[in-house]
């Protein structure tokens, strides 16, 4: 990597840790570990994949490496904006789509991208796909069930959804969801809900998926669901 490229990389506020060959981007997310937990199919040759909420594009580029034709979608995280980080006790400037664009260039990627709001996704504007990735999005949605219906509308018949989300209320043995009107969840004003596993499964089935199962959960209230 050229010195000017390394300088450019280090000026970006990275979320994903992406292997660019000579170097890895300094992302805050443990992307490789998360990749294991979502159980992304090894062989995606001939498949179309849409990555909803792609951010820096780790999962988009990973799906491309596995042979897929990929469309990356985002809006909020592709716009430069400021947030207040409680853990770091400081205002943080997010560098928008610069991470995605930089990794795209360095990987010589053919991943396509569109800026479309989640609730505006439809077969008309993005088509239908063999695999829909929806990672870390559900709990940020004011209308989580509506989002589930959107995911079904862009998933081919016989296709698959991989959904990863924050969960809550696991002790309740029926579909239930916590609502966070302010910053009750990890001091994040952008987190609106915490469904329990039964709720996620029920919403996805009501949205039109025939089969849904939770394939991963951890001690940090994070769960991964596969739906067909």
* pLDDT score of 187: 87
Q: What's the chain's Rg over C-alpha atoms? A: 17
Contacts of 199 (CB under 8 A, 6+ apart): 169, 175, 176, 177
Would you state the pLDDT for residue 91?
65
The predicted pLDDT at position 55 comes to 97
Q: How many Cα atoms within 13 Å fall on the side-chain side of residue 177?
A: 22
Candidates 3.40.50.300, 3.40.50.720, 3.40.50.150, 3.40.630.10; correct CATH number of 29-77+107-227?
3.40.50.150
Domains of the chain by residue range: 29-77+107-227
Tell me the three state secondary structure of residue 119: helix
- Full-model pTM: 0.94
Query: Which pLDDT value is given to residue 88?
Result: 55
Give pLDDT < 50 ranges for the chain. Answer: none
Report the alpha-carbon distance of residue 218 to residue 228 in Å, rounded: 23
What is residue 85's predicted lDDT score, i.e. its pLDDT?
57
């Amino acid at each position: 990597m050229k010195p000017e490229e390394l300088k450019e990389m280090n000026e970006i506020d990275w979320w994903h840790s992406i292997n660019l060959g000579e170097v890895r981007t300094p992302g805050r997310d443990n992307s490789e570990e998360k990749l294991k937990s979502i159980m992304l199919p090894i062989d995606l040759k001939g498949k179309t994949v849409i990555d909803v909420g792609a951010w820096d594009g780790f999962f988009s580029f990973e799906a491309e490496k596995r042979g897929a034709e990929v469309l990356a979608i985002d809006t909020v995280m592709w716009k430069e904006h400021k947030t207040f980080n409680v853990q770091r006790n400081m205002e943080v400037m997010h560098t928008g789509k610069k991470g995605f664009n930089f990794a795209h260039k360095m990987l010589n990627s053919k991943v396509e991208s569109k800026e479309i709001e989640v609730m505006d996704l439809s077969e008309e504007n993005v088509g239908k796909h063999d695999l829909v990735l929806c990672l870390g999005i559900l709990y940020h949605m004011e209308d989580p069930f509506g989002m589930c219906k959107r995911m079904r509308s862009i998933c081919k018949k016989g296709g698959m959804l991989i959904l990863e989300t924050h969960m809550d209320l696991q002790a309740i043995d029926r579909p239930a969801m916590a609502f966070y009107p302010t910053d009750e969840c990890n001091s994040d004003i952008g987190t609106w809900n915490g469904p329990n596993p039964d709720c996620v499964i029920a919403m996805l089935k009501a949205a039109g998926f025939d089969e849904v199962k939770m394939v991963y959960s951890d001690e940090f209230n994070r769960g991964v669901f596969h739906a067909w």
